[in-house]
């Protein structure tokens, strides 16, 4: 097998995986969640890079010629180093892609005022990765980031439908628009945030667009494989999925089943 590898620090990447598999069901996939060391959001650049490199290496060992970092923090803090520094050493024929670039590419179609807001983890917002990528494609855009450190824990602890979530969502959105009232497009810059999408939309001005990453990342991968047949032909097509976690199997199975709305069977592994 030569499956597509999908990596996330926790469970949020399952929202990306779900969109990819719906669009490209014929391929085989291996999902790796480093749940034992999550969350990555507040960790340093060096630690996120170290952990992400270990995960990518493990997915390469599983036979994956292509790995998707389905994690905004890993994409922001580790992707470039892995692409430029590690791939030539590990295997120059393999590829590692992230979720930030496909998200940014979609903004050109959505924003009319050219003022964009990013809702993300502390690590993603502080990295400046979104403003840097946006500046490359759309130098006329103004980008404002808002760190939402409580949102992912609310989702993982199944509190995203409660009143506590209402409070934190309202607080962060109010602060974002206080920083820039001209924002007309808001990016959900964390893969956990689709679970809060209904609450977020309810609190956004009606004319503001909300960009959820999953469909755009899936479409971008489909386009990538069409443009790179040499990679597509290396991927096996048996519609099979494997799940691996660094956390206890029971915990991952319970939470992942909530994310995917179906039972999940997982293998516990160690990476270093």
Catalytic residue among 64, 71, 148, 241: 71
For the chain, how many residues are written?
A: 272
User: Distance between CA 56 and CA 7 in Å, rounded?
Assistant: 8
User: Distance between CA 169 and CA 157 in Å, rounded?
Assistant: 16
User: Distance between CA 258 and CA 197 in Å, rounded?
Assistant: 16
List Cα–Cα distances, 232 to 116, 207, 236, in angstroms: 34, 39, 9
Active-site annotation holds for 64: no
Angle at 215 between CA 161 and CA 222, to 5 degrees: 155
Catalytic residue among 64, 148, 190, 241: 190
Active-site annotation holds for 71: yes
User: Distance between CA 188 and CA 196 in Å, rounded?
Assistant: 10
Residue 137: what are its φ and ψ, rounded to 5°? -95, -35
List, by residue number, the catalytic residues. Answer: 71, 190
């Amino acid at each position: 097998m030569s499956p597509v590898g999908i990596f996330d620090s926790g469970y949020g990447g399952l929202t990306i995986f779900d969109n990819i598999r719906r669009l490209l069901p014929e391929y085989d996939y291996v999902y790796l969640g480093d749940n034992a060391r999550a969350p990555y959001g507040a960790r340093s650049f060096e630690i996120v890079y170290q952990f992400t490199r270990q995960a990518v290496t493990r997915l390469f060992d599983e036979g994956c010629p292509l790995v998707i970092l389905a994690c905004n923090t890993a994409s922001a803090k580790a992707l470039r180093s892995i692409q430029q520094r590690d791939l030539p050493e590990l295997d120059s024929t393999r590829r590692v892609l992230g979720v930030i670039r496909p998200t940014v590419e979609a903004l050109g179609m959505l924003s009319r005022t050219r003022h964009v807001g990013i809702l993300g983890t502390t690590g993603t917002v502080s990295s400046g990765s979104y403003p840097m990528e946006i500046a490359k494609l759309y130098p006329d855009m103004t980008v404002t980031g808002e760190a939402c450190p409580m949102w992912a824990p609310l989702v993982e602890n199944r509190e995203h439908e409660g009143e506590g979530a209402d409070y934190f969502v309202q607080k962060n959105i109010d602060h974002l628009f206080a920083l820039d009232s001209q924002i007309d497009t808001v990016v959900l810059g964390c893969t956990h945030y689709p679970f809060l999408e209904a609450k977020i939309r309810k609190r956004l001005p009606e004319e503001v667009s909300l960009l959820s990453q999953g469909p755009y990342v899936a479409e971008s991968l489909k386009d990538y494989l069409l443009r790179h047949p040499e990679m597509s032909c290396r991927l096996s097509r048996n519609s099979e999925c494997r799940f691996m976690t660094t956390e206890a199997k029971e915990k991952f199975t319970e939470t992942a089943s909530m994310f995917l709305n179906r039972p999940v069977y997982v293998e516990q592994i160690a990476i270093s």
